[in-house]
Amino acid sequence: MMKVKVYITLRESVLDPQGSAVRTSLHALTYNEVQDVRIGKYMELTLSKTEEDVDARIKEMCEKLLANTVIEDYRYEIEEVVSS
């Protein structure tokens, strides 16, 4: 079995209104040291063993469905899970 951690973030050039709203709220709670907040998605996928090229398949999944590649970047980490 494999666990894949996928991180999807807005591109630097894209405005992040949600992040700005969170920053404003943090300032209202007196956390003024917070200069910037960028919010993205974090996904954990559990995959069964497969003969396919896992890296290529994950890349395809990100490109086709998980990330909107027009405005988002993605990166992922693949971990082998030793089932007990």
**Binding letters toward a copy of itself, positions 9-48, x by CB under 8 A:** x---------x--x--xx--x-x-xxxxxxxxxxxxxxxx
Phi, psi (5° rounding) for residue 11? -65, 150
Least CB distance from residue 64 to a copy of itself, whole Å?
6
Cα–Cα distance measured from residue 25 to residue 20, given in angstroms and rounded to the nearest whole number: 9
78 binds a copy of itself (CB under 8 A): no
Least CB distance from residue 69 to a copy of itself, whole Å?
15
Residues 6+ apart with CB under 8 A from 79: 2, 3, 4, 5
8 binds a copy of itself (CB under 8 A): yes
